[in-house]
């Protein structure tokens, strides 16, 4: 509504500056003129604290009141009982219509913040925020209170955008959303307490939810999830979606397949039931994805998702329940139906868990399921590897090769792993505790020791260790494949050929659900390979060629 340029101080000759003032005044008078609601303001001050900011707020409000009788001001000392009633402790603090909203400004709305202040007055005066429909839908999902603290500065050109987002949330959801806009210059102690060194920075319920200014929907989504969101996917009302390719699973395999399929001209969609990015979204640090020497999994996922969204629609929070074979295939989720000429299962796998006390608590703090991912963090240290299959022994050898002292803990007296792996253990000084189970993982902030139980002797002991690598197998997400009648391997993964074709023509697989190396880069490779095959097969269906399956 307001042109930001109007509020930015520039060096001008006095005549020009008078003209600008008059222009701004007229514009504001027009803007405030149509307001149909009172905007009561309560100002709390202490003459001995931030005196110049108190005077600045008064001057600004005086100016606004000259333009609109709808704006009223009452001023109280910090020692007044109303300050106690409203829990006001900082001078100056300005409350906006406190009977109806919890919106307060700690400091003075000067400089760039003038725009935010005018937006606040007009949103309240018109009872209109201009909030988008998708933002409203996100706010509807918020069921518990959100207390926003937004740190801003009069010299920050990005702050008003985020402040306006926060105002929209607080005005649209007054029963659950409160807002404090905190000017860092007038509130150095709070600024230090919240480490608000770069503005805008936003906390909700004391959790950091956003750095920098965000598009409105991303702000609302961050507020809802209480975590910074970096992509926004609008909800779709469609009951039926027609596609060439429906991709099930939004991990690296599915996302890559989506990019490749769409770039080949296929109408593709990705359906994801849980966290976009799959297992990567849960990975603290990735150090082996080319192009990124070190990146946290969530950031890598955000980059992948944003890239995929440039090409392919993603349907989040949706679980595929059934696939009715075709073509055309019919894919049923908990929300809608899809029709597709081909289907890609990129449903992933998850590491099997030991399910002992301490495992969940120390995941990422000494408990690991991926030696190639986390091994380097234990160089020169001591770890235990749990399991007796190929994974456990491969992990143990990998770790020992990286200057780590390794003990394998295996529940039986013989290994399931291949002999050539077993035979290498002595030359790498890998100790083995047979017939032994881990009963508990202990430590303070990270793993320090494990409680062991010898099944033969019945003895219980503890062993000091810096890490616990759990390699007791994988559980591929194959329920859907199983239900659809797709063949699985003896290890329980989806059976496919080198081109990712499964036993049912028109249905393909990619990524961890196929087994193999189970890495991000291999999952992405599978995704691209599968999408290329699918494109070629849809152009020239192998299942209709004479003599083919």
Active-site residue numbers?
370, 373-374
Q: Give me the 391-430 binding string for ligand NAP, x by CB under 6 A, dash otherwise.
A: xx-x----------------xx---x--------------
Reported as type and span, the H/E element at residue 74 is strand 71-77
Is 360 a binder of ligand NAP (CB under 6 A)? no
* Cα–Cα distance, 521 to 399 (Å, whole number): 21
| Paired sense of beta strands 314-315 and 268-271, if any | parallel
* Cβ at position 200, least distance to ligand FAD in Å: 32
* Cβ at position 270, least distance to ligand FAD in Å: 9
Q: In which residue are the tokens 């490779």 written?
A: 525
> Are 36 and 126 contacting, i.e. CB atoms less than 8 angstroms apart?
yes
Q: Give me the 138-177 binding string for ligand NAP, x by CB under 6 A, dash otherwise.
A: ----------------------------------------
Total number of residues that touch ligand FAD (CB under 6 A): 38
Q: Which is nearer to ligand FAD, 278 or 443 (CB)?
A: 278
Q: In which residue are the tokens 């749990």 written?
A: 386
Q: Which is nearer to ligand FAD, 70 or 518 (CB)?
A: 518
Is 388 a binder of ligand NAP (CB under 6 A)? yes
Is 354 a binder of ligand NAP (CB under 6 A)? yes
What is the CB-side half-sphere exposure of residue 294 using CA atoms within 13 A?
5
Q: Which is nearer to ligand NAP, 22 or 413 (CB)?
A: 413
> Are 534 and 245 contacting, i.e. CB atoms less than 8 angstroms apart?
yes
> Are 40 and 25 contacting, i.e. CB atoms less than 8 angstroms apart?
no
Q: Which of 92, 387, 467, 506 binds ligand NAP (CB under 6 A)?
A: 387
DSSP of 27-51: HHHHHHHT--S-EEEEEEEBTTBSH
Partner interacting with residue 406 (select from ligand FAD, ligand NAP, none; CB below 5-8 Å by kind): none
Is 305 a binder of ligand FAD (CB under 6 A)? no
Burial tier of 185 (Cβ tally within 10 Å: 0-12, 13-18, 19+): middle
Reported as type and span, the H/E element at residue 453 is strand 447-454
Q: Which is nearer to ligand FAD, 202 or 255 (CB)?
A: 255
DSSP of 149-205: EEEE-TT-TTHHHHHHHHHHHHHH-TTTEEEEEEETTT-HHHHHHTT--SSSEEEET
Restricting to residues 73-112, name those near ligand NAP by CB under 6 A.
none
Q: Which is nearer to ligand NAP, 412 or 431 (CB)?
A: 412
Q: Give me the 337-366 binding string for ligand FAD, x by CB under 6 A, dash otherwise.
A: ---------xxxx-x---------------
* Cα–Cα distance, 451 to 257 (Å, whole number): 44
> Are 196 and 152 contacting, i.e. CB atoms less than 8 angstroms apart?
no
Is 481 a binder of ligand FAD (CB under 6 A)? no
> Are 438 and 457 contacting, i.e. CB atoms less than 8 angstroms apart?
no
Q: Classify 92 as helix, strand or coil.
A: coil
Q: In which residue are the tokens 């946290």 written?
A: 296
CB burial string 496-515: b at 16+ within 10 A, e below: beeebbbbbbbbbbbbbbbb
> Are 504 and 423 contacting, i.e. CB atoms less than 8 angstroms apart?
no
Partner interacting with residue 519 (select from ligand FAD, ligand NAP, none; CB below 5-8 Å by kind): ligand FAD
* Chain-centroid distance, C-alpha 2: 33
* Cβ at position 353, least distance to ligand NAP in Å: 8
Q: Which of 105, 369, 474, 535 binds ligand FAD (CB under 6 A)?
A: 369
Partner interacting with residue 348 (select from ligand NAP, ligand FAD, none; CB below 5-8 Å by kind): ligand FAD
> Are 388 and 471 contacting, i.e. CB atoms less than 8 angstroms apart?
no
Q: Which of 222, 283, 371, 407 binds ligand FAD (CB under 6 A)?
A: 283
Partner interacting with residue 473 (select from ligand NAP, ligand FAD, none; CB below 5-8 Å by kind): ligand NAP
Is 261 a binder of ligand FAD (CB under 6 A)? no
Query: Which region among 22-30, 133-141, 265-273, 401-409 touches ligand FAD (by CB under 6 A)?
Result: 265-273
* 461 phi, psi to nearest 5 deg: -145, 175
* 295 phi, psi to nearest 5 deg: -150, 140
Q: Which is nearer to ligand NAP, 147 or 421 (CB)?
A: 421
Restricting to residues 91-150, name those near ligand FAD by CB under 6 A.
none
Is 389 a binder of ligand NAP (CB under 6 A)? yes
- Interacting residue ranges for ligand NAP, rule: CB under 6 A: 352, 354, 386-392, 394, 411-412, 416, 471-474, 491
Residues forming contacts to ligand FAD in the complex (CB under 6 A) are: 248-254, 271-275, 278-280, 282-283, 286, 288, 319-320, 346-349, 351, 369-370, 373, 477, 480, 511-512, 518-521, 523
């Amino acid at each position: 509504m307001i042109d930001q340029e109007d509020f930015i101080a520039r060096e001008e000759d006095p005549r020009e500056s008078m003209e600008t003032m008059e222009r701004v005044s007229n514009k504001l008078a027009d803007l405030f003129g149509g307001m149909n609601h009172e905007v009561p303001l309560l100002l709390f001050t202490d003459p001995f604290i931030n005196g110049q900011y108190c005077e600045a707020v008064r001057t600004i409000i005086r100016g606004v009141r000259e333009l609109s009788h709808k704006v009223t001001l009452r001023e109280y000392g910090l020692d007044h009982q109303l300050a106690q009633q409203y829990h006001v402790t900082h001078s100056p603090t300005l409350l906006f219509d406190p009977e109806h909203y919890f919106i307060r400004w700690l400091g003075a709305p000067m400089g760039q913040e003038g725009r935010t202040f005018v937006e606040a007055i007009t949103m309240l005066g018109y009872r209109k925020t201009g909030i988008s429909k998708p933002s409203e839908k996100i706010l509807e999902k918020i069921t518990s209170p959100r207390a926003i603290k937004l740190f801003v500065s009069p010299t920050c050109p990005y702050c008003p955008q985020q402040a306006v987002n926060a105002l929209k949330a607080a005005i649209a959801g007054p029963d659950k959303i409160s807002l404090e806009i905190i000017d860092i210059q007038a509130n150095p102690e709070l600024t230090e307490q919240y480490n608000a060194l770069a503005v805008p920075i936003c906390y909700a319920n004391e959790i950091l939810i956003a750095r920098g200014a965000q598009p409105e929907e991303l702000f609302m989504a961050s507020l809802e999830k209480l975590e910074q969101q970096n992509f926004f996917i609008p909800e779709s009302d469609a009951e039926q979606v027609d596609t060439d390719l429906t991709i099930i699973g939004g991990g690296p395999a599915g996302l890559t397949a989506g990019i490749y399929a769409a770039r080949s001209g296929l109408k593709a969609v990705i359906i994801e039931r849980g966290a976009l990015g799959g297992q990567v979204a849960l990975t603290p640090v990735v150090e082996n994805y080319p192009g990124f020497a070190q990146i946290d999994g969530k950031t890598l996922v955000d980059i992948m998702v944003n890239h995929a969204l440039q090409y392919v629609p993603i349907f989040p929070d949706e679980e595929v329940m059934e696939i009715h074979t075709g073509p055309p295939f019919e894919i049923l989720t908990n929300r809608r139906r899809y029709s597709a000429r081909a289907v890609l299962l990129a449903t992933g796998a998850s590491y099997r868990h030991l399910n002992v006390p301490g495992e969940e608590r120390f995941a990422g703090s000494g408990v690991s399921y991926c030696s190639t991912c986390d091994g380097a963090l234990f160089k020169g240290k001591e770890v235990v590897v749990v399991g007796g299959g190929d994974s456990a022994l491969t992990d143990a050898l990998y770790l020992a090769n990286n200057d780590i002292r390794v003990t394998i803990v295996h529940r039986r007296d013989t290994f399931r792993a291949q002999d050539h792996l077993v035979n290498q253990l002595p030359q790498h000084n890998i100790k083995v505790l047979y017939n032994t189970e881990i009963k508990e993982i202990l430590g303070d902030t990270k793993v320090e020791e494990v409680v062991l139980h010898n099944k033969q002797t019945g003895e219980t002991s503890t062993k000091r260790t810096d890490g616990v690598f759990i390699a007791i197998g994988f559980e591929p997400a194959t329920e859907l494949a199983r239900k659809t009648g797709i063949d699985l391997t003896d290890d329980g993964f989806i059976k496919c050929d080198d081109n990712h074709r499964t036993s049912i023509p028109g249905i393909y697989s990619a990524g961890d659900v196929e087994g193999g190396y189970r890495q991000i880069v291999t999952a992405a490779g599978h995704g691209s390979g599968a999408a290329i095959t699918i494109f070629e097969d849809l152009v020239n269906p192998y299942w209709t060629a004479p003599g083919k399956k």
